[in-house]
Structure 1
Amino acid sequence: MSLSPSQLKHVAHLSRIALEESKIPALVQDLNAILAFAEQLKDGRLDDLAPMAHPLDQQQPLRADVVNETNQRDILLKGAPATEQGLFLVPKVIE
């Protein structure tokens, strides 16, 4: 897929982007290079590749899932201006 100068002007108009006439040829060339690069993703050799979350084949080190703090809800709620059923009450912001 390639982009023509008239298509670029149309997209720029829809996007409300001002383009200088002198920069349009270079911009069309750059965008066409980007589109050509994106076309490489349609390569059939890529169909058998499994998706990866990270380019390196490593496991994320995780810490142990253990409780390391005590429940301090009652102590923290004592300093609140208003509470109800163990929750902080805040002023209504959205009507």
Structure 2
Amino acid sequence: MKITEKDVAYVAGLARLALSPDELTDLTGKMDAMLGYVDKLNQLNTDGIVPTAHAVPMANAFRDDQVVASIGAAAALANAPLGVEDYFQVPRVIE
């Protein structure tokens, strides 16, 4: 695939980049080389290859939820700066 300076200037405009003529020429060559490499990847035979989301098999790493006894309101509020009944009291932040 051949990319032109006009294409690079268009993409630079979308990215709000101001490129000098020298930068435009340099980036055109670099982007053309990158797109050429991607084009080479399109030549690979991928028949029979299953699309994957991960390079290695993944399994859910989370454990099943289990109901256990809580520490209780008194223990939870033991180190709180302010507690009212069974709740944390915090300073008002919205007027």
Q: Report the TM-score, using the length of structure 1 for normalisation.
A: 0.57
SS in 2 for 1:49: coil
In structure 1, the partner of 2:29 is: 29
Q: In structure 1, what is the Cα distance between the partners aligned to 2:84 and 2:45?
A: 61
Structure possessing the higher radius of gyration over alpha carbons: 2
In structure 1, the partner of 2:54 is: 53
Q: How many Å apart are 1:2 and its aligned residue?
A: 2.5
Give unpaired runs (5+ residues) of structure 2: none
Offset from partner CA, 1:27-52 (integer Å, 9 cap, x none): 11111111122234434612422226
- Contact conserved, 1:3 with 1:28, CA < 8 A, in 2? yes
Aligned residues: 89
In structure 2, the partner of 1:42 is: 42
SS in 1 for 2:39: helix
Q: How many Å apart are 1:81 and its aligned residue?
A: 3.3
- Contact conserved, 1:5 with 1:28, CA < 8 A, in 2? yes
Bigger helix share:
1
SS in 2 for 1:46: coil
Q: Which runs of 4+ in 1 moved over 3 A?
A: 40-44, 62-67, 80-84, 86-93
Q: How many Å apart are 1:71 and its aligned residue?
A: 2.9
Q: Report the TM-score, using the length of structure 2 for normalisation.
A: 0.57
Q: How many Å apart are 1:22 and its aligned residue?
A: 1.3
Percent identity among equivalent residues?
19
- Contact conserved, 1:5 with 1:24, CA < 8 A, in 2? yes
CA RMSD of aligned residues (A): 3.9
Q: In structure 1, what is the Cα distance between the partners aligned to 2:87 and 2:28?
A: 58
Structure 2 residue identity aligned to 1:32: D
